[in-house]
Structure 1
Amino acid sequence: MEGGYNGEATVPDCDGFYAATELVVPPQQMISRARATSLILKRDMRHIVADNDDRLTLFFNIGQSDMRTAQLGRDIVLKANEGVFLTQDHPQILDGSHSGEVITLILPKTHFESWATPVHDKVGYRHDFTSPVYRLLLGYSRMLSDEAEHLGADQVQSVSRHICELTAMWVGAVETQMRDDAHTAQYLAVRRIVRRHLALPTLTLPLTARLLNLSERQVQHILQIQGTHFSRLVSETRCERAHCLLQDPACLSLTAQTIAALCGFQDYVVFFRAYKRRYEQSPGDTRALIRTKRMT
């Protein structure tokens, strides 16, 4: 289902199971309010590879029972009226074993593309639930879940953008400072195509230009204004994705070679050199640090 949630649901053993979901699916989004006596949702690499979903999720526990979320090794418990910011492009667990009610907003990553702060640095953490910004964010999210079916697509998009702005303030994300609006929009469009198609070994400048309905020279000029070039942008984007996967405890069963291939690198040596140049450590060093942290 376009805009929906691809994952695996598990119902723990319990008597009198009950679940209900109110669902609205505008383009590239999902807005839901769910109640259940007991439910665990899990999203792993099978689902991520299958649907290439790079959207972001706001998940709010609006029931009375505690709920657990886990992503990128960040395992937290949400009490009533607490929320978490997650990404769809990494494995995640939403554990409502003890019943509850939740609001889930799945939003397009385009709303977050102006962040200078990497999105993955902000997902899965406990942020300040007492701030006025968070109270506004929760309030707007509640209203959107209540009223979405009565709103037009443009209205939903407008409210969603405001929710994303509140999310940035809540998690402490820094906005990118770029030269002017026209070039910013063009650069973000190029970056969006690269990120969306980075797993394709055939991701090239001609393909990117064609997808954007621009000439190759125009794409090169857009990137030049931002101080980069196409091969560098692709390499850095792929390395950033690999860096996140290498640090994810849910991906420890994947070899560095497999992760390199998932990120679009056809040659492991090329990946190894690009990764070491970007992070000043090898993929194996990154993995070793994660295993050491898990042991301690």
Structure 2
Amino acid sequence: MDQVNLEGLSSVLDLAEVDRERRVDTWMGAATTIFPGLALKGLAPNPSIGSIQHSRMGPGSLFAIASAPIEVSYVPRGVAEASQFLTLMLQAEGTTIAHQRQRNCELNRGDICFIDERHPFRLVGVDCSQLLLLRMPRTLVMSRFPEMEHLVATLMPGRDPGTSLLAHTLLQLLHVANDLREAQQHAAMNAIVHLLGATSGLAVELENMPWRVQKALDYIELNLPIPGLTAEQVAQAQHISRRRLDQLMRDALGLSITGHIWSRRLQRAADDLRDQRWAGASISQVAFANGFEDPAHFARAFKRRFEATPGQWRAMARTLTH
């Protein structure tokens, strides 16, 4: 990876503009306000560097952070699933050690790892570091790559071509993020989520997934808008019994065929309700476009999944973008 310039986002904090004796308190206060649940320790007095830049990225957000050596720990505060994120962490400069769920990895320049905000984690900055963080809605990632749950705090080495491709895409995004319109931000987020499959860890996981499951997932994605899509049709397209395919799906994903269809439809509808391109559509139209035949049934299932009605979900998204 070439020399990195992490400038380009909107500045939230730059310690160079803060009196030296106030820098530690200012950094601690800003970091714990921006990222609730964090606790910090080990920051030396009067740190010479420290900056946080930010840009919204559709349903997620992008951060560029420069920090002196520090230890960061996080404990989730029991927020609803709809507000949880999976964070992609690119080490642009320096070294960071990540710990989560009995796993740990050392990130050096160009390396990537993922952190799941549903669970506690710890990050140890060994030296002065520059990090690029992309906070992605957890449900958006897990619905596409459920195996990601097994890859937190796992090294995706920068020398791997897939990881390098993702890193360079993120750095390119950094320099244009503030100029993207809302619809472009959503498209960029969805494109990066798909690109996660190119990283070494996910590629291995996908290669180990039974090929019939992969084909079934592709078939479901292609046919989700069709209201009459059934588990039997998915199984017939794979020339296998529904019972056998259900077993394979449960082993690989923890969901039956029907369960996965419902999960993907609900996630797509949730994404559309946040998307400005669907701002003029009624909730019933969003439901029909994602294969739901009964708007009332859709609304009940949506509330069970996201702990909010479709209308409340749309209103929250509008509040966040204004």
| Fold shared by both chains (TM-score > 0.5) | yes
Q: Which amino acid aligns with 1:33?
A: A
In the TM superposition, residue 188 of structure 1 has moved relative to its aligned partner by 1.5
Show the counterpart of 2:174.
145
Contact 1:9 1:39 in 2 (8 A): no
Q: What is the identity percentage for the equivalent residue pairs of Structure 1 and Structure 2?
A: 15
State the structure with more CA Rg: 2
Q: Distance in 2 between matches of 1:167 and 1:9?
A: 29
Q: Look up the SS of the partner of 1:62 in the other structure.
A: strand
**TM-score (structure 2 length as normaliser):** 0.54
SS in 2 for 1:23: strand
Q: Distance in 1 between matches of 2:80 and 2:161?
A: 36
- Please, what TM-score do these two structures have when normalized by structure 1? 0.58
SS of the equivalent of 2:153 reads: coil
Match of 1:36 in 2: 67
Q: Which runs of 5+ in 2 are unaligned?
A: 1-33, 207-213, 227-259, 270-286, 306-322
TM alignment of 1:143-182, pairs within 5 A? 143-170=172-199, 171-172=202-203, 173-174=205-206, 176-179=217-220, 180-182=223-225
Q: Which amino acid aligns with 2:73?
A: K
Aligned to 2:97: 68
CA RMSD of aligned residues (A): 3.6
- Distance apart, 1:218 and its partner CA: 9.8
Deviations 1:167-207 (A, max 9, x none): 122122545344413158754144789xxxxxxxxxxxxxx
**1:40–1:96 Cα contact (<8 Å) kept:** yes
- Paired residue secondary structure (2:144): coil
| 1:22 Cα offset (Å) | 0.8
Q: Is structure 2 residue 296 aligned with structure 1 residue 215? A: yes
| 1:28 and 1:107 in contact (8 A); partners too | yes
Partner of 1:54: 84
Q: 1:142 to 1:217 in 2, by over 3 A?
A: closer
Matches of 1:43 and 1:93 in 2, distance apart? 6
Q: Distance in 2 between matches of 1:169 and 1:158?
A: 18
Q: Are the aligned partners of 1:113 and 1:188 in contact in 2 as well (CA < 8 Å)?
A: no
Distance 2:58 2:144 in 1: 22
2:136 counterpart (107, 114, 125): 107
Return the offset for 1:6.
2.5
Listed as ranges, the gaps of 5+ residues in structure 1 are: 194-208, 221-232, 235-296
Distance in 2, matches of 1:217 and 1:165, equals 26
Of 38, 47, 56, the match for 1:25 = 56
Matched, 1:85 2:85: no
**Number of aligned pairs?**
203
Distance 1:147 1:185, change over 3 A: farther
By how many angstroms is 1:164 displaced? 1.3
Q: Is the 8 A contact 1:39 1:95 kept in 2?
A: yes
Task: State the Cα distance separating 1:13 from its structure 2 match.
Answer: 4.4
**Distance 1:136-1:214 versus aligned 2 partners, 3 A rule:** same
